[in-house]
Structure 1
Amino acid sequence: MAPHRGRWRGCGQTAFSKRRAARETSCDSRGTPRSLTPYSRIASRTPRSTSQERNATPSTVSCSHSAQPRTTARRDYFDQLTEQQDTEFAADVDTLAEVVMAVNMTERGTIGCAYYVAWEEKLCFMEDAKQGSADIVEALKLFIEPTVVLVSTKCDEDAAARLEGNPTPGSSDGDRRAGRADLPYLIENRPAVEFGYESAKNKLIKLRIGEDGGPRVTFVVPGDVVPDHWNDGSYETPFAGSQERLLRLSSWINLESRTTVGCAGAVLSYLQRRRATSCVPGHEASASMFLINTVEMFSLVGSMFINSDTLHSLQIMSTESHPNIKPPSGGWASGSKEGLSVYGLFHQQAKTTQGRALLRQYFLRPSLNIEIINERLHTIEAFLRPENTSCLGHIVDSLAKIKNIRLAVVNLRRGNSGGLDKNRGVSSSVWPSLRNFIYFALGIRDSIEELNGGEGLGLMTKIIETFDKQELVAVGHLISSVVDFESSRDQRRTVVLPGVDDELDEAKRTYDGIEDLLSQVARQIAETVPAELDTRINVIFFPQIGFLISTQLAKDLGRGVYEGTAEDVWEKMFVTEQNAYYKNTQMAEMDQYFGDIYGRICDKEIEIVQELAMRVLEHEDLLNTVSDVCGELDSFVALARGASLHNFCRPIMTSDNVVQVKGGRHPLQELTVSSYVANDSDIAGGEGEQTNNTESSADGGPRMVLMTGPNYSGKSVYLKQVAIIVFMAHVGSFVPAAAATIGLTDKLLTRISTRESVSRFQSAFAIDLQQVSMALNLATRRSLLIIDEFGKGTESNDGAGLAAGVFEHLLQRGTECPKVLAATHFHEIFEAGFLTPRRSLVFTHMEVRIDQEATDVEGQVTYLYNIRQGRSSSSLGTYCAAMNGIDMAIVDRAEELILLMARGENLREICAELPVNELEEITEAEAIARAFLEVDIVDQPKKILDDILGMCTTETEST
């Protein structure tokens, strides 16, 4: 790596920058030279000044520089300039981060979708999904993560409701709009005509994608308008007829997916509107905005089906509000951050923006391609070899210095040499970012070449082939030979090195010599000022304004204390709070001789930098490709470092429909406890119609594992850990286990947690039913179903019946039965014999130890968190209630009722019996009532009643 790092990196302090300290000198009243504040040439319209101050003694002259135009004016200008550049950069980042999705669902249930990724300049199409449902729309939303969603006005209501956050039926438009405020994307309802097939096809034909590559074959049909001399070689690009473009287009996408093509037309219309509103019509910058350089098909077939409920239940991804009110520059624009989640374990290990984005895609789109999964596992395994520890450390350090170079390329394409972010350091400009990117990219290539065990890996081969040393070094040398990085950092603009352009060097030498000239002129003018005025004279230079004389302001007169003589009239230009600025004949002559020299320097440097940008853009494809490959490498490195940090193991992926785990752990739960008890898992789904109709798989694994056990015993954690292990294996990650063999699983369906919201009109139990219904409808024999305490939200008998019905239905699927892990507290299912024993069904429970002799409640139950064969007979709910502070009287009464139920007693009659104290109160009240009725009341009934109550009270006390 060393030979490449030193070839073009040198950009030390130049003679032009070394002379700053000696530029400004002044003379005090004794004629002694005095050094001034070092001058720094900055990219602004700031003045430079030299002053002559008249002291009380008429015969002495003092020379000084005015501080006001060099500090206050500069600071105000740069604060305004930086704010403007930061705003422009923020707009660029937001534009590149846009993902525009158009989706439509017809009356016949056909779903089409197309989306555009701005930073990749790519338009993606989906095959039309026949007989689809709103669940597919939900999956697409999760799959694409759009920032803008375009919906046809004729789209199916259920699909539109999913996109709008499931608003309550019958809610007003205002309520619907209010409900959209929390959505992570903007919804636009567009006229159905924008989703028309023919208009969309015509728009796609006009994209002219792929015409520059390949042989120049022209296909013309009647009706095509052919330009004159189109075949004589005078045209840079060959003529292409509409049918030829249609043929090219049909080789990349399926034009028979009419609904999807219509969605693509809506996306193109949106991009056209954005160009029109973002740039002045006809401006050349509009041609570089929202380009489409690639079209491709995408499909959900190659990805594991997983919905938002599953992601939330398993804590695969978790977004929470960021505690910092003010987000950092270029950081999280949504004000949120990744919380405690499985993805968060690896997210913090990724160093680049593109790497984190790709890693997130891996977790949102678990792969079903066993070759892709094994390729990722092979790469992670190579990184984790002990002999590669040093190389991996060098790669991580290099990735930490690499930015998403596509942003820099976009800025160069637009002719903007501003910074990549809002920071003011070296890394905030395009050219240092490009130089650092190339430098560390070459270092990564060298580290990959030294990696042991990387031979034959696709990623390693891609890096070696893509990171062209010669071309990257040439680009880096080109930038370093033109840009003065140190001066650019100080002046906050791109400064050109000496020796690049003779005219520019001469202008800079003249500009550097103006300091001495200003001192001389200031001294001459100061000698003409009457000594009794005792004022300070400054001679300054403002870019675009020219040379000016500055004197102190007489506030009562609104002008300077001195305005020249009749022979040399000073023309007032403007005033500030402290000074007045004038031009005289001598200043005009200096303007005519020197002109706007600073402006000429800046203009010349802009020309040189623009030429440099054009030359760098010749290597745009290489830079973008290297940046993307660095992101891919970063995602693999993050997976490897996360696996090493948390002691994960490599799973064995197989086409068999099994899940076999030894020593499985929950990756999040083990972070919150001092020690974690690992458990094994063994489950197998149906083998399909090609095998004999046996109740269990060929290897003997059960199709359904039904768990029971007390509360707090770890059932839910166990269910989640198995699902997470299966999920992580399909991501291509190592898994939290001692060993694991995972078969390809097409869908991961869960009924674990219920996410209630005021925007959803369903009850908690209705939401549970929806989750189970979707799981039953979507499940195949290769799916994994996780069902945790289904039926608990309704009356116990109904809940038990529904749970038993669901389990029996799944088991009766036979060879098409999915892999099922379930937990329940409905013990009456087993006691009543609703689930008959069979080989495909296994009962398990979480082991606990009960000590009846313990005095304290917490010591009576010890949770061992071990999974054991067989089922539990009690949930120990009263122990959990006592441990959580429920009054012991309530707990005792609950245990009494439980015992009576176990004996088969009639609880209605038992609960109707009165306690002894209540029975005594009723007996006393009855005696008082009878005594009162036996008395013959003539008058004073109140006195008689008091006497009766007194007698009864006395009798009670004596008793």
Structure 2
Amino acid sequence: MPARARFSATKRKKPEPSIDHAGTDSSQPEDKKVRWDKGSESQEHNRAEATSDDETSISTGKVYLAAVSQLGRVGCSYYDPIEGVIRVMEDTQESRHFDLIKMVLDQASPDIVLTSSRSDEELIDALREYTDRLGVSLQIRPFKEFTPTKGRSKLLSLRLLTEFPVADESTPKSDAVPTNAYEFMQHRKAITGDPATQRWNASIRLSNFTAADSSPLCMSSIGALIDHLVRERVARDLDDDQSSDNLDIRGIQALSLSQEMQMNADALHSLQIFESESHASVHSDRTKEGLSLFGTLNATQTTLGRALLRTWLLRPSMSIPVITDRHDAVECFLLPENLASATVMQGNLKGIKNVPKILGSLKVGKAKLTDWQDIVKFAFHATMLKDALSELHLGTCVNIVKKLLSALHVASFKELGTAINEIIDWEESATSDRVCVRPHIDEELDNRKHVYHGIDSVLSKVAEQIATVVPPTFSSLNVVYFPQLGYLICLPMLEEWQSDMTIHGLDDWTFQFSSA
């Protein structure tokens, strides 16, 4: 019952349902309950006093959030000290800019953020940007604290899950016949006291309100979060008991975003949002999209468009302005006057490759010739795309069209394409299968290329110089140049070397290897 009184201190109008320590639904209003005893007024008075004391102690608490990501997937959890609830977000695919984590941070407003040292660098950068902007503490913890098995063990050791609720004494019941399953198990004290049975019961109760058990990243974040809560409690109370049994955790809830709908794996499978089918070839382990809502709606022309549509279906928007803007865009593109422009836009979008991936290759210096060609194509197609957008009927009334018109800088694209075409020699690059720069761009590079192209004459001069110091026994020699090794001089194998296993080298020469 004290768990219900604490909800009166929250600012939320409609608290989410949670399983409290009494095993009841704490979201039900108080006026719908029937009081069977005559001391309800005194109980309400005691509850109010307990609530006041609890609120005084809890209001000083901080919000802790733990997040971890691997290979673009993210899972997180945070502790709300007002309600004493841990809210968890199951493993889900994250966008390149970690927009989901940013929404979670804005909604939870944590005071301390925890993450693993092995999380994706993009996640750490997003968390550091948030903490630096708001002056929040960011702790990068050792990766050993973020393990699924440890998180599961910490979660199942909570009293919220291991202990069965005690039946209300004011409720009429019979001592001979149990009235519910909890009461039946409570009578079996010998079995209930078994730690293995308690752990089994905890795993069953955990599956009642969250599917975090099947999300390793989420479980990892929960383990690190509970560990940090235990350390904070020990540091504050100077208590030797460093277990998670004494934590004031009264509920575990699935995280609900205010602007997007978070769908778990069961909902996605039941609604057949995505459906993976095995490849037709028995020799291939790849899968393809089967008969699903995503496969029906997917008419995208680019890799980024496909990823964006998948994100929309994974986390449908609940923002009315966003939904209205999408409806306006669809209505605009389906107008008879805009069918021709829409067809041109689809053709230009088809020519745009994965630009963020290409820019990443350029940044680390691993770009290929095709990457530079795709950059030039992007500049061309983006320019044509803006021209098609400008010809849309009633296009200026659509929000997404206005954003695209302001974001596509035609002058910058033309300048970029011209600069690349003036620097890269496409014909020589295609012949050499590498990126080649045109002459008269860099004087030092031109000199090095001149020396490299004249390497044959240099080797001939070196061979003539070596021939003057080689004994006349050697009728010929060969001088080659390897960029990784340098000059390599080859001499013919003498007959005495073929009969004798020992090869006597020349003075100031080193034997390396022999071949046919």
Please, what TM-score do these two structures have when normalized by structure 2? Answer: 0.52
Alpha-carbon distance, 1:528 to partner: 9.3
The yes-or-no answer on 1:393 pairing with 2:343 is yes
Partner residue in 2 for 1:638: none
1:449 equivalent to 2:390? Answer yes
| Cα separation, 2, equivalents of 1:573 and 1:181 | 64
> Of 297, 303, 316, which residue of structure 2 is paired with 1:366?
316
> What CA distance in whole angstroms lies between the structure 2 residues aligned with 1:171 and 1:571?
79
1: CA distance, partners of 2:413 / 2:199 = 59
AA partner of residue 200 (structure 2): G
2:382–2:410: 8 Å Cα contact kept in structure 1?
no
Aligned partners of 2:456, 2:504: CA distance in 1, in Å? 24
Q: Aligned to 2:439, what secondary structure does the other structure show?
A: coil
**Aligned match for 1:547, one of 471, 480, 487:** 487
Q: CA separation of 1:170/1:455 partners in 2, compared to 1, >3 Å: closer, same or farther? A: same
1:317-349 CA-partner distances (Å, limit 9, x unpaired): 11234456888xxxxxx94332211111233x3
Please give the residue correspondences for 1:815-894 in structure 2 after superposition, counting only pairs within 5 Å: none
Amino acid at match of 1:320: E
Moved more, 187-196 or 520-529: 520-529
The structure with the greater share of residues assigned to helix is 2
* AA matched with 1:500: I
Measured at CA, do residues 573 and 404 of structure 1 come closer, stay the same or move farther in structure 2, by a change above 3 Å?
Answer: farther
CA distance 1:345–1:187, change in 2 (3 Å): same
Residue of structure 1 in register with 2:513 after alignment: 575
Which structure has the highest strand share of the two? 1
Distance 2:260 2:499 in 1: 80
Higher deviation after alignment, 510-519 or 367-376: 367-376
Distance change >3 Å, CA 321–CA 506, structure 1 → 2: same
Is 2:435 the counterpart of 1:461?
no
- In 2, the alpha carbon distance for the partners of 1:573 and 1:450 equals 74
In the other structure, the counterpart of 1:338 is 289
1:149 & 1:388 partners in 2: Cα distance? Answer: 53
In 2, Cα distance between equivalents of 1:488 and 1:539: 28
Deviation at 1:100, TM superposition (A): 2.7
> Which structure has the higher relative contact order (CA within 8 Å, separation 6+)?
1
1:521 to 1:366, Cα distance in 2 relative to 1, 3 A: closer
Return the offset for 1:515: 1.9
Deviation for aligned residue 1:120: 0.8
Aligned to 1:316: 273
> Match for residue 170 of structure 1?
200
For residues 337 and 331 of structure 2, the distance between their equivalents in structure 1, rounded to whole angstroms, comes to 12
* 2:412 aligned partner: 471
The counterpart of 1:110, out of the listed 69, 77, 85, is 85
Q: Quote how far apart the aligned CAs of 1:460 are.
A: 1.1
1:575 deviation in Å? 1.8
Q: Distance in 2 between matches of 1:335 and 1:364?
A: 21
Using the TM superposition, give the Cα deviation of residue 457 of structure 1 relative to its aligned residue in structure 2, in angstroms: 1.0
Instruction: Summarize the Cα distance change of 1:559–1:382 in structure 2 as closer, same or farther, 3 Å threshold.
Output: farther
Equivalent-residue separation in structure 2 for 1:514 and 1:106 (angstroms): 72
- SS at the partner of 2:257? coil
- The answer (yes or no) to whether the contact 1:417–1:494 under 8 Å persists in 2 is no
Equivalent residue in structure 2 for 1:100, among 74, 80, 89: 74
- Deviation, structure 1 residue 312: 2.4
Task: Tell me if the contact between 1:354 and 1:404 (Cα under 8 Å) persists in the aligned partners.
Answer: yes
The answer (yes or no) to whether the contact 1:540–1:547 under 8 Å persists in 2 is yes
Match of 2:334 among 381, 384, 405: 384
Question: In structure 2, how many angstroms separate the alpha carbons of the residues matched to 1:399 and 1:492?
Answer: 27
Deviation digits for residues 23-80 of structure 1 (CA, Å, limit 9, x no counterpart): xxxxxxxxxxxxxxxxxxxxxxxxxxxxxxxxxxxxxxxxxxxxxxxxxxxxxxxxxx
Structure 2 alignment gaps of length 5 or more: 1-68, 110-145, 163-197, 204-210, 233-248, 250-254
- Asked if 1:417 corresponds to 2:365, the answer is yes
- What amino acid sits opposite 1:314 in the alignment? L
**Alpha-carbon distance in structure 2 between the residues aligned to 1:553 and 1:453:** 84
Equivalent residues in 2 for 1:177-576, closer than 5 Å: 187-188=219-220, 190-192=223-225, 195-196=228-229, 300-303=257-260, 308-323=265-280, 335-347=286-298, 349-413=299-363, 416-419=364-367, 426-427=369-370, 429=371, 431-488=372-429, 491=432, 494-519=435-460, 522=463, 537-553=477-493, 556=498, 571-572=509-510, 574-576=512-514
Structure 1 residue 299 displacement after superposition: 5.6
Cα offset, 1:190, TM superposition: 3.3
Matched-pair contact (CA < 8 Å) for 1:551–1:562: no
Mapped partners of 1:152, 1:181: distance in 2: 7
> Do the aligned partners of 1:153 and 1:192 also contact (CA within 8 Å) in 2?
no
> Do 1:441 and 1:467's aligned partners in 2 also have CA atoms closer than 8 Å?
yes
Question: Residue 397 of structure 2 aligns to a residue in which SS?
Answer: coil
Alignment check: 8 A CA contact 2:505 2:511 kept: no
The Cα of 1:465 is off from its aligned counterpart by 0.2
Q: Measured at CA, do residues 556 and 184 of structure 1 come closer, stay the same or move farther in structure 2, by a change above 3 Å?
A: farther
Aligned to 2:97: 120
Write out aligned runs for 1:593-632 (5 A): none
Question: How many angstroms apart in 2 are the aligned matches of 1:392 and 1:96?
Answer: 38
Cα distance in 2 between the residues matched to 1:182 and 1:369: 29
Q: Which amino acid aligns with 2:415?
A: A
Tell me, yes or no, if the aligned pair for 1:518 and 1:540 is still in contact at 8 Å.
Answer: yes
Q: 1:559 to 1:444 in 2, by over 3 A?
A: farther
Distance 1:542 1:385, change over 3 A: same
- C-alpha offsets along residues 496-541 of structure 1, whole Å, 9 cap, x if unaligned? 3322211221121122112233346557867998999776x32211
For each residue in 1:353-411, what CA deviation from the matched residue of structure 2 results, as whole angstroms up to 9, or x when unmatched? 32112101222233344443332233223333444444333322332332332233344
Instruction: Please show how residues 785-800 of structure 1 align to structure 2 within 5 Å.
Output: none
Alpha-carbon offset, residue 448 of structure 1 = 1.7
After TM superposition, list the pairs within 5 Å mapping 1:933-944 onto structure 2.
Answer: none
Q: How many residue pairs get matched? A: 338
Report deviation, 1:466: 0.4
The alignment's C-alpha RMSD in Å is 5.0
Please say if residues 112 and 128 of structure 1, whose CA atoms lie closer than 8 Å, have aligned partners that are also in contact: no
Taking the aligned partners of 1:105 and 1:400, their CA distance within structure 2 comes to 45
SS in 1 for 2:87: strand
Quick one: which amino acid aligns to residue 119 of structure 1?
Answer: R
Could you report, residue by residue, the CA deviation over 1:97-145 in whole angstroms, capped at 9, with x for unpaired residues?
A: 423322246796624357995731554226459xxxxxxxxxxxxxxxx
Q: Any stretches of 5+ residues in structure 1 without a counterpart?
A: 1-94, 130-147, 162-167, 174-178, 200-258, 260-297, 328-333, 420-424, 579-959
Q: Distance in 1 between matches of 2:161 and 2:377?
A: 46
Query: For residues 469 and 457 of structure 1, do their structure 2 counterparts lie closer, same or farther at Cα, with a shift above 3 Å needed?
Result: same
Local SS of the residue matching 2:359: helix
**Equivalent residue for 1:599?**
none
Q: Which amino acid aligns with 2:343?
A: G
Give the whole-Å Cα distance in 2 for the aligned partners of 1:576 and 1:182. Answer: 60
**Contact in 1 for aligned 2:341/2:388 (Cα 8 Å):** yes
Cα deviation digits, residues 462-502 of structure 1 (max 9, x gap): 11100112223333334444444555555565443322211
Deviation by residue 1:423-465 (Cα, 9 ceiling, x = unmatched): xx743x4x33433332322222222223334231111111110
How do 1:702-717 residues align onto structure 2 when only pairs under 5 Å count? none
Change (3 A) 1:306 1:517: closer
> Does structure 1 conserve the Cα–Cα contact (< 8 Å) formed by 2:395 and 2:401?
yes
Amino acid at match of 2:350: A
Other-structure match for 1:60 = none
Q: 1:510 to 1:302 in 2, by over 3 A?
A: closer
Counterparts in 2 of 1:389 and 1:325: CA distance versus 1, 3 Å: farther
Q: Deviations over 1:262-306 (max 9, x none)?
A: xxxxxxxxxxxxxxxxxxxxxxxxxxxxxxxxxxxx963444575
